[in-house]
Every structure is written in C-alpha cells, then in structure tokens.
A and B are shown apart, each in its own frame.
Chain A
Amino acid sequence: GAGVSQSPSNKVTEKGKDVELRCDPISGHTALYWYRQSLGQGLEFLIYFQGNSAPDKSGLPSDRFSAERTGGSVSTLTIQRTQQEDSAVYLCASSLRAGVHEAFFGQGTRLTVV
C-alpha cells in the first residue's frame, strides 16, 4: 500500500480479554516498529523488527505483550489479559531498512480497556 496501515482504528475491550492489533507496513520497508502513546506521554518504544533478524523486544512492558512479523511484512501485536493501564494509542511505523531513521507511521489503534 501507499502508507502504513493499521487495524482496527479503535478497539474497546473488557479487562482480562486478549487483543490483536495489526500493522501492514509500506511495501519494501524491512524495518518495522511498534510504539505506545499514552495521554500526555511521548512515544514509548515497544518492539522492533528488521528483516529476518531476531526482533528487539527490549521495550515490551510485560510478558503479556508479544508481537510477530510474518514473511517480513505484516505484523501483529498481541496483548493478553488486558489491564486498564494498557489503554493507549498503539502506533506502528516502518522505515526502509535498519539505520535509516526516517519513520513512516500508521494512524494508530486506540485501545480502551474497560
């Protein structure tokens, strides 16, 4: 696609449920990032994928969070047993390759845990 696409745009879920967030990066971009943006906070790094290399998971806040990237393209961020503090906007970005820092962001998924 022309840009980074994320789905769903909005997700309301009950506390304790699992959610999956999807990101479709720009075609040809080998680097993919997930960030979380909470109200009044900056972008918090979650996880980074580069090609077929092992992902950098150093930003994941707990073992309830996981992500995968299939075929070097689409990525899914999964949050298990959601908590209210997980409510935030989850942003996905892609860049041409590792070391090319200009990132192109999707519109984000607004997650609300009730």
Chain B
Amino acid sequence: TQLLEQSPQFLSIQEGENLTVYCNSSSVFSSLQWYRQEPGEGPVLLVTVVTGGEVKKLKRLTFQFGDARKDSSLHITAAQPGDTGLYLCAGPPNSGYALNFGKGTSLLVTP
C-alpha cells in the first residue's frame, strides 16, 4: 500500500489568515487529488494534479505537486469560515483501481 501522510492533523485559525497543509509519501504517484469533506457529507473533489511541479489555482486555494511526484501541498489565502472541513489527499495505486487516501487535515476557520 502506498501511504499518504498528511500534516498537520488539525488546524484552527482565524478568518483572514493564510495556511498550508501537506501530503507526503515515499512512493511516486501518477497523479494526486485533493478532496474537501464537510460534516455529514461525502468528500468532494477539488483538484487533480498530474505533472511534477504543477501548480493549480482554485480561487483562494493553490495546489502544488512536487517535482518528484511524491508530495503535494494546499495553500489557502485569506481563509474564510466556509473553508472549514476535512481536507483529504488521494492517489491512484500502482495496481488495482481504488484510491489511497491520507487521514486528512481537519481545518477550522473561526470568524
């Protein structure tokens, strides 16, 4: 199993602050995905990064895929309470089809 380690596990910040969360592995992935999960809901796909060194922006969210395709980061600028949720990274396996998920970063943004 290709493990994905996410850090930090928990993050509590105030509205307007910036933050970065990380997803690391010792394995190379062909792509990595980021999902956000709100309480009582299933995860929702935010972005897929495919190319080493790739940077994708989604409004105030910036996603980066490491050059070696072993890690990824998510940076949020000027966090808002609506950003609160569990952020999960996931990658496809070398064999089979089921995505490998990290344990997630639980983010709380207070007004």
Contact = CB atoms under 8 A, between A and B. Distances in A.
Interface of A: 4, 31, 33, 35, 40-43, 45, 48, 50, 56, 58-59, 91, 93, 98-99, 101-108
Given A45-B98, A50-B97, A102-B33, 7 more contacts: A33-B99, A42-B88, A48-B97, A101-B90, A101-B92, A104-B45, A107-B42
Contacts of B96: 48, 56, 58
A41 B96 CA distance: 22
Contacts of A43: 43, 88, 90, 99, 101
A103 B103 contact: no
B40 interface: yes
Contacts of A106: 42
Most chain A Cβ neighbours within 10 Å, of B31, B92, B101, B102: B101
B68 interface: no
Interface of B: 31, 33, 35, 40-45, 48, 88, 90, 92, 96-104
Contacts of B97: 31, 33, 48, 50, 56, 98-99, 101
Most chain B Cβ neighbours within 10 Å, of A33, A42, A45, A105: A42
Nearest to A31: B97
Contact of B99 (A41, A56, A58, A101): A101
Contacts of A103: 43, 45, 90, 99
Most chain A Cβ neighbours within 10 Å, of B40, B98, B102: B98
Contact of B43 (A31, A41, A99, A105): A105
A107 B40 contact: yes
A41 to B, nearest CB: 6
Nearest to B92: A101
What are the 5 A-B residue pairs with the smallest beta carbon separation, nearest first?
A105-B42, A42-B103, A43-B101, A45-B98, A42-B101
Contact of B98 (A40, A59, A91, A104): A59
Nearest to B100: A45
B45 A40 contact: no
